[in-house]
Amino acid sequence: MISRRKYDPLGVVLATDEGLLQVEPGREPVVAVAGKRFERVDFRDGLGLAAAPGEGVWVFGGKHWELGWEGDARSVSVTSSGELFIGSVDGRLHVSKDKGAKWATVDGVQNLIKLNRFAPPPGVAPYVAAVGEVLDGIVIAVVGGGCWHTRDGGTSWLRRTDGLDPKVHRLWVHPERRDRLYATSPSGIYRSEDEGYTWVQSIGGLDRSWGGTLAVLPGTPDTLVYSAARRAGTEGALFRSANGGVTWQRIMLDADDEWDRAPCVVRPYDWDDLSFVAAGTQLWASHDRGKNWLALQDGLPVANDITAAL
């Protein structure tokens, strides 16, 4: 599935230690922003965000990337309604409803972090790691604090962590069922069928627990492509589930099935069967829901995160 484009396609976008790269098959990679270390990137329907910790967030609004927010960002999220979110190192959540022209702080998140006893990893303060739009409001993942839900734009929040490891890394909302959520943590991957009220751990067939990134390919059942590691992003591997996360099988890319760093995976927001993987110095694509993989590019910097704008 692909919708009519209202923006110039960027290809696959990689957040790397050397800058922000745009990769199109058969062409030389384009360095969109050089000299910055990017850790997170997200894109949806012509809007993109890329976070360089200690520097700021670059915004793509249809033509090119521009510095749109200055500060120490740790996460970026583009929701299905077009709202843009930044989670900063001080625990604040920033939102823009005008494509990044102006930003406001969601004050309720600061109160949430101040009034609750969270347990982030040693040396890390709680911050918002991801934002997702559900059927009624939005949910956020707080590092050390699990999942939280608001129906009033962030003034008040309700905890949604029953069964979920609070040291959550990332969170994804199902592209067609906004009551179905997925989250990764140091103890693996979790899924929820009720907007985060309850969570179930999904580790059958996995040989490592540290959760990385996830591609959700909608269907009956859903197919998932998942990146995991043995510890803090090292000794990474890829897994595929053809039954919505009940069981997992190891993915091999050519002759490799393990990498020094956890690979990064993504499904373009408006495709049902297409996914990309950045593993080591290579970029791969699958057009059949992760069954078979085609090498697209080699010699790339190792990716910290990945998105796609086709």
Residue 63's CATH number: 2.130.10.10
pLDDT single digits (tens) 176-220: 999 999 999 999 999 999 999 999 999 999 999 999 999 999 999
Furthest C-alpha separation in the chain = 52
Residue 221 counted as domain residue: yes
**Domain assignment present for 199:** yes
Q: Within a domain: residue 299?
A: yes
Residue 6, pLDDT score:
66
Tell me, yes or no, whether 4 lies in a domain. no
Is 225 a residue whose pLDDT tops 80? Answer: yes
Confirm whether 2 is domain-assigned.
no
User: Is residue 58 one of the residues assigned to a domain?
Assistant: yes
Residue type at 64? Answer: H
How many domains would you assign to the chain?
Answer: 1
Is 1 part of any domain?
Answer: no
Residue 225 counted as domain residue = yes
pLDDT tens by residue, 122-142:
899 999 999 999 999 999 999
Identity of the amino acid at 130: A
Cβ-based burial of 34 (10 A; exposed 0-12, middle 13-18, buried ≥19)? exposed
Range of the domain at 22: 11-309
